[in-house]
Amino acid sequence: MLAPRHSVLFAQRLSGKRLHHRVGGMLILIVTALIILLVAAAIGIDVAYMHVTQAELRTATDAAARAGVEALGRTQNVDAARQAAINFAARNTVAGSPLLLTGADIEIGSTVGGNNSKFTFQRGANPPTAMRITGRRTANSPSGAVALFFGPMFGQTDFQPIQLATAARLDIDISLVLDVSGSMTEQNRFPGLVNAVGVFISELEQTPQEERCSMSVYSTNAQKEIAMTTNLQSINQRLSQFSPNGFTAIGRGMQVGATSFSDPNARPFALRAMIVMTDGQHNTGIHPSAVVSSLRQQNVTIHTITFSPGANQSTMRQVANAGGGIHIHADNNAQLAEAFREIARQLSVLLIE
Protein backbone atom coordinates (compact mmCIF):
# COMPACT_ATOMS: atom_id res chain seq x y z
CA MET A 1 0.00 0.00 0.00
CA LEU A 2 1.09 3.57 -0.71
CA ALA A 3 1.86 5.79 2.18
CA PRO A 4 -0.59 8.65 2.74
CA ARG A 5 1.92 11.21 1.41
CA HIS A 6 2.58 9.17 -1.71
CA SER A 7 -1.17 8.76 -2.25
CA VAL A 8 -1.66 12.53 -2.26
CA LEU A 9 1.18 13.06 -4.77
CA PHE A 10 -0.23 10.36 -7.08
CA ALA A 11 -3.69 11.94 -6.98
CA GLN A 12 -2.24 15.37 -7.79
CA ARG A 13 -0.31 14.00 -10.76
CA LEU A 14 -3.39 12.19 -12.07
CA SER A 15 -5.50 15.34 -11.73
CA GLY A 16 -2.89 17.38 -13.58
CA LYS A 17 -2.84 14.96 -16.48
CA ARG A 18 -6.63 15.09 -16.77
CA LEU A 19 -6.60 18.93 -16.70
CA HIS A 20 -3.90 19.00 -19.38
CA HIS A 21 -5.99 16.70 -21.61
CA ARG A 22 -9.07 18.90 -21.12
CA VAL A 23 -7.18 22.08 -21.99
CA GLY A 24 -5.71 20.39 -25.05
CA GLY A 25 -9.15 19.22 -26.15
CA MET A 26 -10.62 22.68 -25.71
CA LEU A 27 -7.84 24.24 -27.79
CA ILE A 28 -8.56 21.81 -30.61
CA LEU A 29 -12.27 22.68 -30.45
CA ILE A 30 -11.52 26.41 -30.41
CA VAL A 31 -9.14 26.17 -33.37
CA THR A 32 -11.65 24.06 -35.31
CA ALA A 33 -14.43 26.54 -34.55
CA LEU A 34 -12.22 29.45 -35.66
CA ILE A 35 -11.41 27.67 -38.91
CA ILE A 36 -15.10 27.02 -39.54
CA LEU A 37 -15.93 30.66 -38.78
CA LEU A 38 -13.18 31.89 -41.11
CA VAL A 39 -14.35 29.57 -43.89
CA ALA A 40 -17.95 30.71 -43.37
CA ALA A 41 -16.84 34.35 -43.41
CA ALA A 42 -14.85 33.81 -46.59
CA ILE A 43 -17.78 32.10 -48.28
CA GLY A 44 -20.14 34.81 -47.01
CA ILE A 45 -17.95 37.57 -48.44
CA ASP A 46 -17.82 35.92 -51.85
CA VAL A 47 -21.56 35.17 -51.84
CA ALA A 48 -22.34 38.78 -50.94
CA TYR A 49 -19.98 39.96 -53.67
CA MET A 50 -21.72 37.70 -56.16
CA HIS A 51 -25.13 39.15 -55.20
CA VAL A 52 -23.84 42.71 -55.58
CA THR A 53 -22.28 41.85 -58.93
CA GLN A 54 -25.51 40.26 -60.18
CA ALA A 55 -27.45 43.37 -59.15
CA GLU A 56 -24.94 45.62 -60.94
CA LEU A 57 -25.18 43.46 -64.05
CA ARG A 58 -28.98 43.61 -63.97
CA THR A 59 -28.91 47.41 -63.66
CA ALA A 60 -26.37 47.83 -66.46
CA THR A 61 -28.18 45.43 -68.79
CA ASP A 62 -31.57 47.05 -68.16
CA ALA A 63 -30.09 50.49 -68.77
CA ALA A 64 -28.49 49.38 -72.03
CA ALA A 65 -31.76 47.88 -73.28
CA ARG A 66 -33.72 51.01 -72.43
CA ALA A 67 -31.13 53.30 -74.02
CA GLY A 68 -30.98 51.17 -77.15
CA VAL A 69 -34.72 50.97 -77.70
CA GLU A 70 -35.09 54.70 -77.00
CA ALA A 71 -32.54 55.42 -79.71
CA LEU A 72 -34.33 52.99 -82.01
CA GLY A 73 -37.55 54.99 -81.72
CA ARG A 74 -35.86 58.38 -81.86
CA THR A 75 -33.47 57.77 -84.76
CA GLN A 76 -35.38 55.04 -86.64
CA ASN A 77 -31.95 53.54 -87.29
CA VAL A 78 -30.92 50.04 -86.19
CA ASP A 79 -27.18 50.72 -86.23
CA ALA A 80 -27.59 53.86 -84.12
CA ALA A 81 -29.69 51.91 -81.64
CA ARG A 82 -27.04 49.20 -81.30
CA GLN A 83 -24.34 51.78 -80.70
CA ALA A 84 -26.45 53.57 -78.10
CA ALA A 85 -26.87 50.30 -76.19
CA ILE A 86 -23.12 49.59 -76.35
CA ASN A 87 -22.23 53.11 -75.22
CA PHE A 88 -24.68 53.13 -72.33
CA ALA A 89 -23.61 49.69 -71.11
CA ALA A 90 -20.00 50.86 -70.96
CA ARG A 91 -21.03 53.74 -68.69
CA ASN A 92 -22.08 51.22 -66.04
CA THR A 93 -19.59 49.21 -64.02
CA VAL A 94 -20.02 45.59 -63.02
CA ALA A 95 -17.56 44.34 -60.39
CA GLY A 96 -15.46 47.45 -60.96
CA SER A 97 -15.21 47.16 -64.76
CA PRO A 98 -17.36 48.64 -67.55
CA LEU A 99 -19.93 46.29 -69.07
CA LEU A 100 -18.72 45.73 -72.63
CA LEU A 101 -21.20 44.41 -75.19
CA THR A 102 -20.62 42.81 -78.57
CA GLY A 103 -22.95 42.77 -81.53
CA ALA A 104 -23.96 39.22 -80.63
CA ASP A 105 -25.23 40.45 -77.26
CA ILE A 106 -27.82 42.72 -78.92
CA GLU A 107 -30.96 41.40 -80.59
CA ILE A 108 -33.48 43.64 -82.31
CA GLY A 109 -37.02 42.57 -83.06
CA SER A 110 -40.57 43.40 -82.21
CA THR A 111 -43.32 42.56 -79.78
CA VAL A 112 -45.88 39.93 -80.62
CA GLY A 113 -49.09 39.11 -78.81
CA GLY A 114 -51.26 41.60 -76.99
CA ASN A 115 -55.04 41.85 -76.77
CA ASN A 116 -55.76 38.95 -74.38
CA SER A 117 -52.15 37.83 -73.88
CA LYS A 118 -48.83 39.28 -72.86
CA PHE A 119 -46.49 40.78 -75.39
CA THR A 120 -43.37 38.73 -76.03
CA PHE A 121 -40.14 39.48 -77.85
CA GLN A 122 -39.64 38.03 -81.34
CA ARG A 123 -36.20 38.40 -82.82
CA GLY A 124 -36.10 39.87 -86.32
CA ALA A 125 -39.83 40.65 -86.42
CA ASN A 126 -41.05 43.89 -88.00
CA PRO A 127 -41.46 46.68 -87.30
CA PRO A 128 -38.35 46.75 -85.07
CA THR A 129 -39.65 48.18 -81.79
CA ALA A 130 -37.87 46.09 -79.15
CA MET A 131 -34.36 45.17 -78.07
CA ARG A 132 -33.05 42.28 -76.01
CA ILE A 133 -29.64 42.57 -74.36
CA THR A 134 -27.57 39.71 -72.96
CA GLY A 135 -25.27 41.18 -70.32
CA ARG A 136 -22.33 38.83 -69.66
CA ARG A 137 -19.36 38.70 -67.33
CA THR A 138 -18.18 35.32 -68.57
CA ALA A 139 -14.75 34.05 -69.49
CA ASN A 140 -15.40 34.59 -73.20
CA SER A 141 -17.04 38.02 -72.82
CA PRO A 142 -15.12 41.27 -73.48
CA SER A 143 -15.26 42.19 -69.78
CA GLY A 144 -14.16 38.73 -68.64
CA ALA A 145 -15.26 36.67 -65.67
CA VAL A 146 -15.52 38.13 -62.17
CA ALA A 147 -12.64 37.03 -59.89
CA LEU A 148 -13.62 35.86 -56.42
CA PHE A 149 -11.71 36.81 -53.26
CA PHE A 150 -11.61 33.50 -51.43
CA GLY A 151 -13.00 31.15 -54.05
CA PRO A 152 -9.56 29.86 -55.11
CA MET A 153 -9.19 28.35 -51.63
CA PHE A 154 -12.08 26.05 -52.52
CA GLY A 155 -11.27 25.48 -56.17
CA GLN A 156 -13.58 28.20 -57.56
CA THR A 157 -11.61 31.08 -59.03
CA ASP A 158 -14.35 33.16 -60.63
CA PHE A 159 -18.05 33.94 -61.04
CA GLN A 160 -19.67 34.13 -64.51
CA PRO A 161 -23.10 35.81 -64.33
CA ILE A 162 -25.44 36.33 -67.31
CA GLN A 163 -28.42 38.70 -67.34
CA LEU A 164 -31.15 39.21 -69.97
CA ALA A 165 -33.10 42.44 -70.40
CA THR A 166 -35.81 43.19 -72.96
CA ALA A 167 -37.15 46.67 -73.59
CA ALA A 168 -39.87 47.70 -76.01
CA ARG A 169 -41.00 51.09 -77.18
CA LEU A 170 -44.53 51.47 -78.47
CA ASP A 171 -43.96 54.22 -80.99
CA ILE A 172 -47.37 54.49 -82.61
CA ASP A 173 -48.47 56.36 -85.71
CA ILE A 174 -52.25 56.84 -85.53
CA SER A 175 -54.63 57.67 -88.34
CA LEU A 176 -57.92 59.12 -87.11
CA VAL A 177 -60.76 58.62 -89.62
CA LEU A 178 -63.80 60.62 -88.51
CA ASP A 179 -67.39 60.85 -89.70
CA VAL A 180 -68.51 64.41 -90.56
CA SER A 181 -71.61 63.38 -92.52
CA GLY A 182 -74.92 65.21 -92.22
CA SER A 183 -76.26 62.95 -89.46
CA MET A 184 -73.57 64.31 -87.14
CA THR A 185 -75.64 67.50 -86.82
CA GLU A 186 -78.33 65.56 -84.93
CA GLN A 187 -78.64 65.54 -81.13
CA ASN A 188 -75.51 67.62 -80.61
CA ARG A 189 -73.31 64.78 -81.87
CA PHE A 190 -70.64 66.85 -83.60
CA PRO A 191 -69.71 68.89 -80.49
CA GLY A 192 -69.60 65.53 -78.69
CA LEU A 193 -67.10 64.25 -81.26
CA VAL A 194 -64.91 67.35 -80.88
CA ASN A 195 -64.90 66.85 -77.13
CA ALA A 196 -64.18 63.10 -77.44
CA VAL A 197 -61.21 63.68 -79.75
CA GLY A 198 -59.95 66.22 -77.21
CA VAL A 199 -60.13 63.52 -74.53
CA PHE A 200 -58.26 61.14 -76.84
CA ILE A 201 -55.47 63.66 -77.42
CA SER A 202 -55.22 64.43 -73.70
CA GLU A 203 -54.72 60.73 -72.96
CA LEU A 204 -52.00 60.43 -75.61
CA GLU A 205 -50.15 63.42 -74.21
CA GLN A 206 -49.88 61.69 -70.83
CA THR A 207 -48.09 58.61 -72.15
CA PRO A 208 -44.27 58.30 -71.94
CA GLN A 209 -43.85 57.41 -75.62
CA GLU A 210 -44.31 59.77 -78.55
CA GLU A 211 -47.42 59.20 -80.64
CA ARG A 212 -47.89 60.85 -84.00
CA CYS A 213 -51.36 61.33 -85.36
CA SER A 214 -53.16 62.34 -88.54
CA MET A 215 -56.79 63.22 -89.16
CA SER A 216 -58.90 62.34 -92.19
CA VAL A 217 -62.60 63.11 -92.40
CA TYR A 218 -65.30 61.73 -94.61
CA SER A 219 -68.88 62.40 -95.67
CA THR A 220 -69.78 61.85 -99.32
CA ASN A 221 -66.07 62.06 -100.11
CA ALA A 222 -62.97 61.96 -97.92
CA GLN A 223 -59.97 64.19 -97.42
CA LYS A 224 -56.93 64.34 -95.19
CA GLU A 225 -57.04 67.47 -93.04
CA ILE A 226 -53.97 66.97 -90.83
CA ALA A 227 -50.97 64.95 -92.01
CA MET A 228 -49.04 62.82 -89.53
CA THR A 229 -47.82 65.20 -86.83
CA THR A 230 -46.58 65.51 -83.27
CA ASN A 231 -48.72 68.63 -82.83
CA LEU A 232 -51.76 66.75 -81.60
CA GLN A 233 -53.64 69.89 -80.59
CA SER A 234 -53.79 70.95 -84.24
CA ILE A 235 -56.18 68.05 -84.85
CA ASN A 236 -58.84 69.28 -82.47
CA GLN A 237 -58.43 72.83 -83.68
CA ARG A 238 -59.09 71.78 -87.27
CA LEU A 239 -61.94 69.42 -86.39
CA SER A 240 -63.83 72.15 -84.57
CA GLN A 241 -63.96 74.21 -87.80
CA PHE A 242 -66.08 71.67 -89.71
CA SER A 243 -69.79 71.83 -90.52
CA PRO A 244 -71.14 68.28 -91.02
CA ASN A 245 -72.99 67.45 -94.24
CA GLY A 246 -73.31 64.80 -96.95
CA PHE A 247 -73.51 61.01 -97.06
CA THR A 248 -71.42 58.36 -95.25
CA ALA A 249 -68.49 56.97 -97.27
CA ILE A 250 -66.66 55.01 -94.58
CA GLY A 251 -64.50 53.02 -97.03
CA ARG A 252 -63.30 56.18 -98.75
CA GLY A 253 -62.37 57.64 -95.38
CA MET A 254 -60.30 54.54 -94.58
CA GLN A 255 -58.54 54.70 -97.95
CA VAL A 256 -57.54 58.32 -97.43
CA GLY A 257 -56.55 57.62 -93.80
CA ALA A 258 -54.23 54.86 -94.99
CA THR A 259 -52.13 57.37 -96.94
CA SER A 260 -51.09 58.95 -93.63
CA PHE A 261 -48.62 56.13 -93.05
CA SER A 262 -46.63 57.42 -96.02
CA ASP A 263 -46.57 61.03 -94.82
CA PRO A 264 -43.15 62.71 -94.38
CA ASN A 265 -43.47 62.53 -90.59
CA ALA A 266 -44.64 58.89 -90.51
CA ARG A 267 -42.07 56.51 -89.05
CA PRO A 268 -41.09 53.25 -90.75
CA PHE A 269 -40.45 51.50 -87.41
CA ALA A 270 -43.60 52.70 -85.64
CA LEU A 271 -46.61 50.54 -84.97
CA ARG A 272 -49.61 51.61 -87.06
CA ALA A 273 -53.15 52.07 -85.84
CA MET A 274 -56.28 53.42 -87.52
CA ILE A 275 -59.31 54.52 -85.53
CA VAL A 276 -62.50 54.71 -87.59
CA MET A 277 -65.52 56.46 -86.08
CA THR A 278 -69.01 56.57 -87.60
CA ASP A 279 -72.45 57.52 -86.36
CA GLY A 280 -74.44 55.84 -89.12
CA GLN A 281 -74.60 53.37 -91.98
CA HIS A 282 -72.17 53.15 -94.87
CA ASN A 283 -74.15 54.33 -97.91
CA THR A 284 -71.77 55.40 -100.68
CA GLY A 285 -68.40 54.47 -102.18
CA ILE A 286 -66.26 51.41 -101.47
CA HIS A 287 -67.43 49.26 -98.58
CA PRO A 288 -65.21 49.46 -95.46
CA SER A 289 -64.75 45.68 -95.32
CA ALA A 290 -63.16 45.83 -98.78
CA VAL A 291 -60.39 48.13 -97.48
CA VAL A 292 -59.33 45.99 -94.51
CA SER A 293 -57.14 43.54 -96.44
CA SER A 294 -54.87 46.21 -97.93
CA LEU A 295 -54.52 47.89 -94.55
CA ARG A 296 -53.52 44.64 -92.87
CA GLN A 297 -50.89 44.14 -95.56
CA GLN A 298 -49.43 47.45 -94.37
CA ASN A 299 -49.41 46.18 -90.74
CA VAL A 300 -52.20 48.57 -89.73
CA THR A 301 -54.38 47.63 -86.76
CA ILE A 302 -57.95 48.91 -87.17
CA HIS A 303 -60.09 50.00 -84.21
CA THR A 304 -63.68 51.10 -84.72
CA ILE A 305 -66.13 53.23 -82.77
CA THR A 306 -69.84 53.37 -83.56
CA PHE A 307 -71.79 56.35 -82.24
CA SER A 308 -75.59 56.59 -81.82
CA PRO A 309 -78.24 53.86 -81.75
CA GLY A 310 -78.53 54.00 -85.56
CA ALA A 311 -74.89 53.16 -86.28
CA ASN A 312 -74.10 49.88 -88.01
CA GLN A 313 -72.44 48.05 -85.13
CA SER A 314 -72.35 44.68 -86.88
CA THR A 315 -70.33 45.88 -89.89
CA MET A 316 -67.90 47.95 -87.85
CA ARG A 317 -67.35 45.14 -85.35
CA GLN A 318 -66.47 42.88 -88.27
CA VAL A 319 -64.04 45.50 -89.59
CA ALA A 320 -62.33 45.70 -86.18
CA ASN A 321 -62.15 41.93 -85.84
CA ALA A 322 -60.64 41.53 -89.30
CA GLY A 323 -58.28 44.44 -88.60
CA GLY A 324 -56.94 42.98 -85.36
CA GLY A 325 -58.40 45.80 -83.27
CA ILE A 326 -61.28 46.44 -80.91
CA HIS A 327 -64.78 47.80 -81.43
CA ILE A 328 -66.57 50.06 -78.95
CA HIS A 329 -70.11 51.36 -79.24
CA ALA A 330 -71.34 54.65 -77.76
CA ASP A 331 -74.97 55.74 -77.57
CA ASN A 332 -74.31 59.30 -76.39
CA ASN A 333 -71.64 61.98 -76.09
CA ALA A 334 -70.41 60.85 -72.67
CA GLN A 335 -69.98 57.28 -73.87
CA LEU A 336 -68.19 58.51 -77.00
CA ALA A 337 -65.62 60.33 -74.85
CA GLU A 338 -65.10 57.14 -72.82
CA ALA A 339 -64.72 55.10 -76.00
CA PHE A 340 -61.92 57.34 -77.28
CA ARG A 341 -60.30 57.35 -73.84
CA GLU A 342 -60.38 53.55 -73.65
CA ILE A 343 -58.77 53.12 -77.06
CA ALA A 344 -56.06 55.68 -76.23
CA ARG A 345 -55.24 53.72 -73.08
CA GLN A 346 -55.20 50.40 -74.92
CA LEU A 347 -52.74 51.78 -77.45
CA SER A 348 -50.18 52.46 -74.71
CA VAL A 349 -50.41 49.12 -72.89
CA LEU A 350 -47.33 46.90 -73.10
CA LEU A 351 -46.61 43.76 -71.05
CA ILE A 352 -43.29 41.98 -71.60
CA GLU A 353 -42.53 38.54 -70.17
Q: Please list the pLDDT of the chain residue by residue as tens digits (353 residues).
A: 545 555 555 455 555 555 555 555 667 777 666 766 676 666 778 788 899 999 889 988 988 998 898 888 888 899 999 999 999 899 888 999 999 999 999 999 987 765 445 678 889 988 888 999 999 999 999 999 999 877 777 778 889 999 999 988 778 999 999 999 999 999 999 999 999 999 999 999 987 777 999 999 999 999 999 999 999 999 999 999 999 999 999 999 999 999 999 999 999 888 899 999 999 899 999 999 999 999 999 999 999 999 999 899 999 999 998 998 889 999 999 999 999 998 998 775 443 54
Of 111, 137, 168, the last residue of a domain is 168
In a domain, 282, yes or no: yes
- Give the pLDDT of residue 118: 63
**Do residue 164 and residue 39 come from a single domain?**
yes
Of 168, 194, 228, the last residue of a domain is 168
Whether the pTM exceeds 0.85: the reply is no
Question: Strand pairing of 172-179 and 212-218?
Answer: parallel
- Give the pLDDT of residue 11: 53
**Do residue 128 and residue 81 come from a single domain?**
yes
In a domain, 8, yes or no: no
- Give the pLDDT of residue 164: 93
**Do residue 221 and residue 242 come from a single domain?**
yes
**Do residue 176 and residue 59 come from a single domain?**
no
- Give the pLDDT of residue 156: 83
In a domain, 121, yes or no: yes
**Do residue 177 and residue 308 come from a single domain?**
yes
Q: Are 16 and 9 in contact (CB under 8 A)?
A: no
In a domain, 139, yes or no: yes
Query: What is the residue range of 89's domain?
Result: 20-168
**Do residue 204 and residue 338 come from a single domain?**
yes
- Give the pLDDT of residue 168: 84
Read off the CATH number of the domain in which 225 is found.
3.40.50.410
Of residues 107, 111, 105, the one with CA closest to residue 60: 105
Q: How many CB atoms lie within 10 A of CB 103?
A: 8
Of 147, 168, 189, the last residue of a domain is 168
**Do residue 178 and residue 81 come from a single domain?**
no
Q: Is 288 exposed, middle or buried (0-12, 13-18, 19+ CB in 10 A)?
A: buried
**Do residue 243 and residue 115 come from a single domain?**
no
**Do residue 328 and residue 213 come from a single domain?**
yes
In a domain, 303, yes or no: yes
In a domain, 309, yes or no: yes
In a domain, 92, yes or no: yes
**Do residue 213 and residue 231 come from a single domain?**
yes
Q: Count of domains in the chain?
A: 2
In a domain, 293, yes or no: yes
